[in-house]
Amino acid sequence: SSATETRAFEAEVSQVLHLVTHSLYSHKEIFLRELISNASDACDKLRFAALSDASLTADDAELRIEISVDRDARTLTIRDNGIGMSRDEVVENIGTIARSGTRKFLESLSGDARRDTQLIGQFGVGFYSAFIVADNVTLTTRKAGAPAGESVRWESAGSGEYTLENVDAPQRGTTVTVHLKPDESEFLDAWKLRELIKRYSDHVAFPIRLPAQKDGGASDQSRTDEFETVNHAAALWTRPKSELKDEDYQAFYKSLSHDFNDALAWTHNRVEGSQNYSLLLYVPERPPFDAVFSGRDERKGLKLYIRRVFIMDASEQLLPSYLRFVRGVVDSDDLPLNVSREILQENRLVAQIRSACVKRVLDLLEKLAKDEPEKFQQFTTAFGNVLKEGIAEDGANRERIAKLLRFASTKSEDAQKSVSLDDYIGRMQADQEAIWYITADSHAAAKGSPQIEALRAKGTEVLLLSDRIDEWMIGYLGEYAGKKLRNAAKGDLDAADGGDAERRKQADEAAQPVLKKLAELLGPKVEQVRVSQRLTESPSCIVLGEYDMALHMQRLLREAGH
Ligand code: ADP
Ligand code: MG
């Protein structure tokens, strides 16, 4: 083997390492889940690679994860016989944080420990979480298919640098050895490890093994090499629903999403018919960090399996963009194992699965709205604006999506978006034909709009829309349940809803001299000056023609440089 090479971590890695070890201490046992999840990913990757090159697993076909401790050396070892890494891959994967948005993430930290812990959790800490409990970590790895002599050993104390060394590893796969800090002896206890594996990693689809417990305390040294499987070792979604508890679903969600919080809701289905597949789809409690900064480009979170083999993250192929907050697994019995992204894009079976995913998520949200309004409110706060995109994106489901939207209105007590279009329609006045709304930059501005004074005075409810997407979304919605959506700042109010024609005529005549004077003063800046039925308190307001672009939209376009 060659001389040891010492390298410095990228500055960002050092920063993340420091943050992880200092702010996640109260969640320290997650390190085990993270290392097991990496081992499981490595087994998934090898199984996938072996589809096109069976020789990769020929000598050692049973993929597994083994965990052992050495009490004297104070080490905990997690070994997998998965895909392994080449020297370059180790440098790439373990020495850098190749995540877009890392810098933004670091900048967004506030110094407020509680909030930062949440953010770091949402960011996903992965391999570095080992340093919460370790003062030294070594990783020895040999890539599947590579000769023993190309193995590499990585070692670091987690403080700015690491060493790399070529070694001979007898088997393929990766071994991570965690040297525990003086206070972390609990992770040397086999019972403790067993409990943590059951709690966090029971759903891992590969066997996780610990040295077999010796019965009756007899110290039969000859048996110490024997391992026993401690997890369920079957893909969670293949197990019968009746056997699964909420905790099982939540633990699986957390390892799937790296979210520290529970999922808000989920739906688990086995579909059998012209094609067979399983779906397990989750709605998170809050947006993950990635979605905040990388937006629509880098969609992740829905994993495609084919007959239990992990194929790829196929969120973009299996979900429309407006449901990009959904996390989960699709496992198909019928797609070909050699499927590519291009094939997925135009495959008929995939199109069916995709519409089933949409249907199941909308079903789930409807059920949540009906049975658990508080949770649904949480959903609205977290993802209501993303869902609104569906009004434009998914014409076929427009009505169902519209039913799930919630708004603030002149009848709600605060800025909370809690009024559904059905609520609104249920409260409409006898002579009212349209659903009225107003858009503005903020809730306060919408609420204080002079354009809605007359409607308010009449007791007509007005939806107060203040999200950037609202104007655009309403443009696609147009109407709901046969009722037109009308902007209170546009056109002639009376033409739409009731009004006293005689009174109006008199007021018009009385005001003629003032109108003339104002029209002269304002000149070409306005199209028309007229008496308004809109106002009860304010002396004047700006009104748009029925087909003019809303003021709010005009402002947005100006900001965007149009
Ligand atoms: P993530 O798993 O989210 O990608 P991690 O920090 O947990 O982030 O791991 C970083 C990368 O290191 C992985 O993507 C993988 O490429 C590599 N890696 C980590 N552990 C293993 C392992 N046991 N076997 C093979 N590759 C690994
Ligand atoms: Mg990981």
> Is the dihedral angle over the CA atoms 201, 204, 209, 212 positive or is it negative?
positive
pLDDT tens-digit map of 412-442: 888 899 999 999 999 999 999 999 999 999 9
Whether 243 shows a pLDDT value over 90: the answer reads yes
User: Is 499 touching ligand 1 by the criterion CB < 6 Å?
Assistant: no
CA 38 / ligand 1 centre spacing (Å):
5
Atom of ligand 1 nearest to the CA of 39: 23
Atom of ligand 1 nearest to the CA of 94: 12
CA 37 / ligand 2 centre spacing (Å):
6
Mutate to test the pocket of ligand 1, among 81, 127, 201 (most ligand atoms within 8 A of CB): 127
Nearest CA, atom 20, ligand 1? 38
Which of helix, strand or coil describes residue 6? strand
CA 8 / ligand 1 centre spacing (Å):
19
Nearest CA, atom 17, ligand 1? 93
Q: Any bridge partners for residue 408, and if so which?
A: 464
Q: Are strands 5-8 and 161-167 parallel, antiparallel or unpaired?
A: antiparallel
pLDDT (0 to 100) of residue 293? 46
Element (H, E) at 289: helix 289-294
Nearest CA, atom 8, ligand 1? 126
What is the C-alpha to C-alpha distance for residues 538 and 542, in angstroms, rounded to an integer?
11
Put the strands of the sheet holding 277-284 in their side by side order: 263-271, 277-284, 327-332, 302-306, 309-313
> Residues 123, 293: contact at Cβ < 8 Å?
no
What is the C-alpha to C-alpha distance for residues 64 and 74, in angstroms, rounded to an integer?
23
Q: Tell me, letter by letter, the H, E, C secondary structure of 74-137.
A: CEEEEEECCCCCCHHHHHHHHHCCCCCCHHHHHHHCCCCHHHHHHHHHHHCCHHHHHHHCEEEE
User: Is 269 touching ligand 1 by the criterion CB < 6 Å?
Assistant: no
Nearest CA, atom 12, ligand 1? 93
User: Is 332 touching ligand 1 by the criterion CB < 6 Å?
Assistant: no
Residue type, 63: L
Atom of ligand 1 nearest to the CA of 128: 6
> Is the dihedral angle over the CA atoms 141, 142, 148, 150 positive or is it negative?
negative
Nearest CA, atom 11, ligand 1? 93
User: Is 85 touching ligand 1 by the criterion CB < 6 Å?
Assistant: yes
Residue carrying the six token digits 């890494």: 85
In the chain, pLDDT over 70 holds for what percent of residues? Answer: 87
CA 256 / ligand 2 centre spacing (Å):
10
Q: Are strands 65-70 and 208-211 parallel, antiparallel or unpaired?
A: parallel
pLDDT (0 to 100) of residue 287? 82
**Which of 175, 156, 153, 180 is CA-nearest to residue 72?**
180
User: Is 151 touching ligand 1 by the criterion CB < 6 Å?
Assistant: no
> Residues 448, 561: contact at Cβ < 8 Å?
no
User: Is 126 touching ligand 1 by the criterion CB < 6 Å?
Assistant: yes
Q: DSSP state, 527?
A: S
What is the C-alpha to C-alpha distance for residues 463 and 7, in angstroms, rounded to an integer?
59
CA 143 / ligand 1 centre spacing (Å):
13
CA 99 / ligand 1 centre spacing (Å):
13
CA distances, 301 to each of 79, 138, 291, 485 (Å): 26, 30, 11, 35
User: Is 488 touching ligand 1 by the criterion CB < 6 Å?
Assistant: no
CB-based contacts of 29: which residues, under 8 Å, 6+ apart? 187, 196, 200
Element (H, E) at 22: helix 11-23
Among the bound ligands, the one closest to the CA of 66: 1
Nearest CA, atom 16, ligand 1? 93
pLDDT band with cut points at 50, 70 and 90 for residue 1? very low
User: Is 36 touching ligand 1 by the criterion CB < 6 Å?
Assistant: no
User: Is 80 touching ligand 1 by the criterion CB < 6 Å?
Assistant: yes
In the chain, pLDDT over 90 holds for what percent of residues? Answer: 62
Across 111-136, b (16+ Cβ under 10 Å) vs e yields: eeeeebbbbbbbbbbbbbbbbbbbeb
pLDDT (0 to 100) of residue 296? 45
What is the C-alpha to C-alpha distance for residues 87 and 301, in angstroms, rounded to an integer?
28
**Which of 396, 395, 369, 367 is CA-nearest to residue 384?**
369
Give the residue, 321 or 496, on which the prediction is more confident: 321
CB-facing half-sphere around the CA of 195: CA atoms within 13 A: 8
Nearest CA, atom 14, ligand 1? 93
What is the C-alpha to C-alpha distance for residues 169 and 502, in angstroms, rounded to an integer?
95
Atom of ligand 1 nearest to the CA of 83: 25
CB-facing half-sphere around the CA of 112: CA atoms within 13 A: 6
- Range with lowest mean pLDDT among 90-99, 398-407, 452-461: 90-99
- Range with lowest mean pLDDT among 63-72, 172-181, 302-311, 498-507: 498-507
What is the C-alpha to C-alpha distance for residues 42 and 248, in angstroms, rounded to an integer?
22
What is the C-alpha to C-alpha distance for residues 193 and 410, in angstroms, rounded to an integer?
56
Mutate to test the pocket of ligand 1, among 93, 122, 201, 259 (most ligand atoms within 8 A of CB): 93
pLDDT band with cut points at 50, 70 and 90 for residue 491? low
Whether 226 shows a pLDDT value over 90: the answer reads no
pLDDT (0 to 100) of residue 512? 83
- Range with lowest mean pLDDT among 87-101, 187-201, 336-350: 87-101
What is the C-alpha to C-alpha distance for residues 301 and 324, in angstroms, rounded to an integer?
8
Nearest CA, atom 10, ligand 1? 93
Whether 541 shows a pLDDT value over 80: the answer reads no
Put the strands of the sheet holding 208-211 in their side by side order: 5-8, 161-167, 151-156, 134-142, 173-180, 75-80, 65-70, 208-211, 227-229
Residue carrying the six token digits 């409807």: 366
> Residues 433, 455: contact at Cβ < 8 Å?
no
CA 497 / ligand 1 centre spacing (Å):
63
pLDDT tens-digit map of 255-314: 888 888 899 999 999 999 999 999 999 999 988 765 444 444 456 789 999 999 999 999
CA 87 / ligand 1 centre spacing (Å):
14
Give the CA dihedral 317, 322, 328, 332, nearest 10 degrees. -30
What is the complex's ipTM, to 2 decimals? 0.99
Among the bound ligands, the one closest to the CA of 125: 1
> Residues 140, 153: contact at Cβ < 8 Å?
yes
**Total residues belonging to the chain:** 562
What is the C-alpha to C-alpha distance for residues 525 and 334, in angstroms, rounded to an integer?
65
User: Is 290 touching ligand 1 by the criterion CB < 6 Å?
Assistant: no
Nearest CA, atom 19, ligand 1? 38
Whether 496 shows a pLDDT value over 50: the answer reads no
User: Is 42 touching ligand 1 by the criterion CB < 6 Å?
Assistant: yes
E strands, 300-447, where? 302-306, 309-313, 327-332, 408-409, 435-439
CA 127 / ligand 1 centre spacing (Å):
7
User: Is 124 touching ligand 1 by the criterion CB < 6 Å?
Assistant: yes
Residue carrying the six token digits 């399983």: 278
